[in-house]
Amino acid sequence: MMNTPLRIAGLLEHAEKWHADTEIVSRLPEGGLHRTTYAGLGRRSRQLANALQRLGIRSGDRVGTLAWNTHRHLELYYAVSGSGAVCHTSNPRLFPEQLVYIINHAEDRLLFFDLTFLPLVEKLAPSCPTVEAWVLMTDRAHMPETTTLPNLRCYEDLLAAESDEFEWPVFDENTASSLCYTSGTTDQPKGVLYSHRSTLLHSYAAALPDCFNCSARDVILPVVPMFHVNAWGIPYLAPMVGCKLVLPGPGLDAASLYELFETEGVTFTAGVPTIWFGLLTFMREKQLRFSTLRQMIVGGASCPPALLRAFDEELGVTIRHAWGMTETSPLGTVCTLKPQQLSLSPDEQFAIQTKQGRVIFGVDMQIVDDEGRELPHDGVAFGDLLVRGPFIVADYFGTEPGQLTPSGWFRTGDVATIDPAGFMQITDRSKDVIKSGGEWISSIELENLAIGHPSVAEAAVIGVPHPKWSERPLLVVVCKPDHDLTPEELLAFYDGKVARWWVPEAVEFVTQLPHTATGKLLKTQIRKDFDGYQW
């Protein structure tokens, strides 16, 4: 067989040649919609690759971004990785100190950013000595008249000065292509460096029918940001299958998203539960329906069953639950039923769909006890979830090799069960598990049940020290506006749904809960807020 290396530029070459007219639509931070095609993406990515060379970027250099999902960000994905450098996306919702840490750790040489983030970037710049130039991803008309940034460039000016002829270099497929940092939910952010090979293999796996099930006939709108684990691989998968891509820019509110879904004929979308809750509320209020959307992926945090059911039954959209992490590129499992499960009752099928699902090809997993012994796949035993495969991290960026995975497996930090059919269910993050009287209680299960109460908007369960049981679950709840709820009413809601000793010991009502930059509950902060809590 031909020894053709797998390269990210190959995806672009393919789409440009075979899907040249297929559209890429973006909502811009400057306002308005922008339309291009894969042919346009190819041309401008080559111009950008020439500009990067002129700015002195060489193979392996890190080029940073702080940007929304737009065609310009997509051009950076292809121009940077395609020319052999490393595209380092940062999450602008992180605290400025975390961003400074990440940019310095990655030693970004250039930083491309959207207009929205100008004030943020001006604040970061004095603490980022490795960044030689800051590039504002806009045209001349939107450039600021004054700025404190030392070497500010205009993106469209850079491109306009370059030829669209550029030969994408051919190199070893194990060359680094992009870099993402974990969002630091439990620790300092850590860098995961993807390769061209891992990215391409992940894209093939993501497109499979039991995974995202995408084809050239689809119109994909990734709500998941391109700064959140490469938008779960969608910017690579779309040119691979040759489908239309709709990039929502900064418009992540329910009304803007719904408008794009309808006007652009979106068939497939993916995002975190928080976004879908917002959309559901909006659509219920306005009594709206989807006309083209057929399937959506929900992942990044546990999806409450109430949400799955609402999209499936009320809005007629197939919603698949997926699990993954920065360290797994990110797709690890997706919940798609097997044929023998199709004859089960709707409730039995639904119980399976709330699990995180089966591994996709390229990922192997096991659960182990405290001594590292493998646990049975009986859907009951739970232990530490380990994974391995060609798109799973081997070492964190900038650390000694061989430290992270001495056993050949990556320890996810999640605690899970696996049932006889191979469906994995996350019960907790190992740091969030509640140990009551020597037994484990799943905070996720208790949160999901609370969310099912009609008056509850959001719920978190944390373990709080207890004199008799060592730890007991405390339920912290945000009520929906204009809803009244007593602790007794809420706790009675658990009757018959969980073992008696799992029922939270107490309920505290709050007006809001803290979240991470990727919209997950920030349990470390909630634990701090209730430090010293007296039962």
Residues tagged active-site:
182, 327, 435, 440
Closer residue to ligand ADP, CB minimum distance, 47 or 182: 182
What minimum distance in Å lies between the beta carbon of 252 and ligand ADP?
17
Closer residue to ligand ADP, CB minimum distance, 181 or 268: 181
**Distance in angstroms (rounded) separating the CA atoms of residues 224 and 287:** 25
What minimum distance in Å lies between the beta carbon of 465 and ligand ADP?
23
Closer residue to ligand ADP, CB minimum distance, 92 or 184: 184
List residues bridging with 287 in a β-sheet: none
The SS3 call for residue 501 is helix
CA distances from 214 to 38, 75, 223, 332 (A): 17, 22, 16, 17
Q: What share of the chain is helix, strand, coil (3-state, %, to 5)?
A: 30, 25, 45
CA distances from 352 to 28, 218, 316, 325, 426 (A): 39, 26, 18, 21, 13
Closer residue to ligand ADP, CB minimum distance, 242 or 273: 273
Closer residue to ligand ADP, CB minimum distance, 100 or 506: 100
Residue with tokens 């950008």: 48
Backbone angles phi, psi at 117, to 5 degrees: -100, 10
Q: Give the interface with ligand ADP as residue ranges (CB under 6 A).
A: 182-185, 299-303, 321-326, 356, 412-414, 426, 429, 518, 520
Which residue, 228, 233, 207, is CA-closest to 218?
207
Closer residue to ligand ADP, CB minimum distance, 52 or 303: 303
**Looking at residue 488, what DSSP letter applies?**
H
Closer residue to ligand ADP, CB minimum distance, 46 or 190: 190
What minimum distance in Å lies between the beta carbon of 424 and ligand ADP?
10
DSSP H or E run through 444:
helix 443-451
What minimum distance in Å lies between the beta carbon of 185 and ligand ADP?
3
What minimum distance in Å lies between the beta carbon of 189 and ligand ADP?
7
What minimum distance in Å lies between the beta carbon of 200 and ligand ADP?
21
The structure tokens listed for 416 are 């899970």
**Distance in angstroms (rounded) separating the CA atoms of residues 39 and 16:** 5
**Distance in angstroms (rounded) separating the CA atoms of residues 525 and 505:** 20
The SS3 call for residue 122 is helix
CA distances from 207 to 217, 242, 331, 421 (A): 13, 11, 11, 22
Which residue, 496, 484, 497, is CA-closest to 447?
497
CA distances from 369 to 10, 165, 382, 436 (A): 43, 56, 8, 18
What minimum distance in Å lies between the beta carbon of 328 and ligand ADP?
8
